[in-house]
Amino acid sequence: MKNQKIIIIGGGVIGLGIGWQLAKAGADVTIHERAEVGRGASWAAGGMLGPIAEAHIDELDLLKLSNQSLDRYPEWVDELEAETDMRIGYRAEGTLIIGIQPDDKYQLEHAYNLYNDLGLNVEWLSGDEARKIEGALSPYVTAAIRCETDHQVDNRLMTQALKRAYEARGGEMHHNSPVKKIVIENGNVRGVQTLEGFQSADVCILAAGCWSGQIDGLPETIIPPVRPVKGQMLALQMRKDMMISNVIRTVKARYPMPVYLVPRRDGRLVVGATTEEMGFDTDLNVGGIYELLHGAFEAVPGIYELPLIETWSGLRPGSSDNAPILGKTPVENLIYATGHYRNGILLTPITAYEVSKLILTGETPDTIAPFHIDRFSKE
Ligand code: FAD
Ligand code: GLY
């Protein structure tokens, strides 16, 4: 595929990651980004690399893929940092899932048993043991699960680094260049229609996040079932006497809303996130921000004094089974890399390595085979 013209639709971590790997292999790649590169979900995310904390009993293929991607993170970070001379804020301190109210302990035990059944690397801690690790935790924390291998990365830095690495390898970038239509003839992709007119391509990769189902030209049967799932977020500025270093998450299915706190190396403390089915609406509201602050305050009361430095929201590309849609489609040379929902930052390395391998060799790697679009037509 080396001399073929490849077009990628979408300049988030997924499009950039695949583009970088392809450009590195000497391919002729162009990314068309509707607006500004890296300002979609990839910018809004928390950056948690949390296969365990996000594990679900009904999503075992996704858990396997997530673990495979996490395993490749150190190599990914080394490669990206070496090529760009940037640091992307990878932190390996781990994650504490905490219980606060008596009911949370029951939820935690349930999660702990599930993780053990799945063979995941977790440790049960009492409240005091958890506070020995993170002194700022509330005195009301009754127990915790330590997930030492659930790490984090600064997704905004990673996105900037990917753009730099992609361009340094000769990848072409078109900002403010929405793809209006994917042009298909006789079952083959021919290129895309942009504001500048028709751009021919031998291979097209659809990596347009939650907008992936909105581009004209796709046969009805293969429109990716991807929808926007809004998440409101905020950031606080930690102080020397109020620093945390692990990712802290409250248990799922709790009231008030479960939250996560993600401490960055520069002292920012990212708090997220709501999960809202609101279409393409990205407005922030008092309820969302209140719930986040309430949940974060219950977990770490010391945040009360910290400056609130940013609020934002983003749209997760949610697929109908929460797993990404990867690989070949019934249209020759049209490749999907979308629908990464809550785990797109975690899944970037495996997506980039394996989708670029597919394009360069023509063979679908076993890793991504369960994630074809055809799984939806089989249902
Ligand atoms: P995006 O980053 O949205 O990029 C898609 C790009 O395509 C956009 O830039 C868009 O402008 C462009 N585009 C759309 N239509 C067109 C078109 N027609 N033509 C050209 N370009 C187009 N994941 C984790 O792993 N860990 C987390 O902690 C985490 N937290 C999250 C918190 C929030 C609040 C949100 C919203 C997401 C979170 N995620 C997390 C999920 C993760 O951010 C996404 O799964 C991932 O960023 C998806 O990357 P993407 O490149 O597919 O999408
Ligand atoms: N994975 C965290 C989120 O989607 O909010």
Pocket (CB within 6 angstroms of ligand 2): 46, 48, 54, 231, 272-273, 316, 342
- Closest-CA residue to 69 (of 262, 351, 326): 351
CA of residue 50 to ligand 2 center, whole Å: 9
Place of tokens 């940013």: 310
The average pLDDT across 106-120 equals: 94
- Top-level class of domain 95-148+228-319: alpha beta
- Top-level class of domain 5-73+155-225+320-376: alpha beta
- Matching fold, domains 5-73+155-225+320-376 and 95-148+228-319: no
Q: Which ligand is nearest to the CA of 73?
A: 1
Q: Which ligand is nearest to the CA of 232?
A: 1
Helices (H) and strands (E) in the chain, counts: 9, 19
1 pLDDT higher than 60 = no
How many percent of the chain have pLDDT more than 70?
A: 98
Across the chain, mean pLDDT equals 96
Atom 4 of ligand 1: nearest residue by CA position: 12
The average pLDDT across 169-197 equals: 97
pLDDT of 102: 82
pLDDT of 254: 65
19 pLDDT higher than 70 = yes
Cβ neighbours, 10 Å, residue 129:
13
Extents of the domains making up the chain: 5-73+155-225+320-376, 95-148+228-319
Ligand 2 atom nearest to CA at 233:
5
Q: Which of 276, 277, 342 maximizes ligand 2 atoms within 8 Å of its Cβ, making it the mutation to test the pocket?
A: 342
- The dihedrals phi and psi of 60, each to the nearest 5 degrees, come to -75, -35
pLDDT of 103: 83
pLDDT of 377: 85
User: pLDDT tens across 30-52, in order?
Assistant: 999 999 999 999 999 999 999 99
CA torsion, ordered 71, 75, 80, 82, to nearest 10 deg: 160
Q: What's the whole-model pTM score?
A: 0.98
